Homo-oligomer: A and B are copies of this chain.
Amino acid sequence: MSDEKKIPYKIYLDESEMPTQWYNVRADMKKKPEPLLNPGTGKPCTAEELSHVFCDELVAQELNETDPYIDIPQEIQDFYKMFRPSPLIRAYYLEKKLGTPAKIYYKFEGNNTSGSHKLNSAIAQAYYAKKQGLKGVTTETGAGQWGTALSMACSYFDLDCKVYMVKCSYEQKPFRREVIRTYGGQITPSPSNTTEVGRKILAEFPDSTGSLGCAISEAVEDATTHEGYRYVLGSVLSQVLLHQSVIGLETKAALDKYGIKPDMIIGCAGGGSNLGGLISPFMGEKLRGEADYQIIAVEPASCPSFTRGKYAYDFCDTGKVCPLQKMYTLGSGFIPSANHAGGLRYHGMSAVLSELYDQGLMEARSVEQTAVFEAAQEFARVEGILPAPESSHAIRVAIDEALKCKETGEEKTIVFGLTGTGYFDMYAYAAYNDGTMKDYIPTDEEIAASLAKLPQVNG
């Protein structure tokens, strides 16, 4: 480590070095993502249509494909200081354990009570809701991280917060519920009997353990049928990737400060919020032809939207109440097995990332959960951070790549996103510790059957 002394274990930016603008990667894309479509008309959604579901300012951000930088309001910058800048950590201990010549860095977003990066967008969305004079917001949550983050943000701005939580996560994570309640949020397991769409899903699948797509439908229905409420979403949407660009901007600033140029950037991908945020400024350089990076999205083998899905228009939710989005999808009716990475169980993928992937600007890999927890445990034991199951997908591939370097002798610089901590995922760790964890991979037939139900759209 002697030649590396000048690079600390943890690089913290000063507060004065924190980003004051978000970066909108779409502005640098020559071919933009396809527009959201109104499922009724088949035409691109207008701002007016979207404003029934989303806050006005967030609709403007969603549709903004031209401005590369958007100012972060001062109130949000102030709130960010509560838990940002997050550290960029040099994984000296992991490198040593692996005996790799690779240099591994990770951007750790878990040092806040929501336990993940989700707070970056939650506070932005709550801010715009408050500014619009709303009473409250509704949302869905999978692993519970987004719900926690939103309840924290709403508590800060004194907004109502109604959370529909995917039932299997609700049951696996009772403590998440209490954190959300401590911040004053209301929480309902989904599918529920409180919405029309929930009742419909329960009638068809009474034993459903839920899915993000289904919880989204319920939250949207709740928002659009109550005066003064709007729906907010923790991933997938382009506005969320915009807010999450703060991860990548800080990462890049920290690397630049020490003159480090990564070869490879790795992130887990559920709906794409973390990965999209982490890679955005690097992808910007790539799009502008200023630099090249290998970028890898990692998804669970049980919900492989990038690696086995189709790039097509699809519903964002099971209940088909949301706009259609062109994205890599397994079909909005796809319900993945009850794996332990609730945050990566979404049937589709961010439109921005889908388009970048389709253009060959990034790769994707899928990994099985036992291998993921093996990496999680190895990482926890040497780096001292117990990672979230979601984040551990990125760890798995980072370790695999570092081990390849060990074989080839290449001194690659690997950066990965450590999106959160696993403190509320101990049932998953228990299953791993007990040796009872199972891997489940959907068959080609299952995926084909789900994709056969994609809506017919001239996209």
Contacts and interface: CB of A to CB of B under 8 A. Distances in A.
Contacts of A430: 178, 181
A383 B82 contact: yes
A113 B384 contact: yes
Interface residues of A, number: 43
A398 B10 CA distance: 30
A434 to B, nearest CB: 9
A21 to B, nearest CB: 20
Nearest to A182: B429
Interface string A315-353: 000000000000000000000000000000000000000
Contacts of A377: 182
Nearest to A381: B155
A381 B423 contact: no
A112 interface: yes
Interface in A419-456: 421, 423-424, 426-427, 429-430, 432-433
Given A155-B381, A381-B155, A382-B156, A429 B113 contact: no
A128 interface: no
Copies in the complex: 2
A111 interface: yes
Interface in A240-274: none
A377 to B, nearest CB: 6
A15 B179 CA distance: 33
Given A182-B377, A384-B113, A429-B182, A423 B175 contact: yes
Contacts of A60: none
Interface string A151-181: 0100110000000000000000011001101
A293 interface: no
A131 interface: no
Contacts of A382: 156
A81 interface: yes
A152 B380 CA distance: 9
Nearest to A386: B113
Nearest to A385: B113
Contacts of A156: 381-382, 384
Interface of A: 8-10, 12, 14-15, 81-83, 93, 111-113, 115, 119, 152, 155-156, 174-175, 178-179, 181-184, 377, 380-386, 421, 423-424, 426-427, 429-430, 432-433
5 contacts: A8-B15, A82-B384, A113-B385, A175-B426, A423-B424
Which 7 residue pairs of A and B lie closest in terms of their CB atoms, listed nearest first?
A175-B426, A178-B426, A9-B81, A423-B423, A113-B386, A82-B384, A8-B15
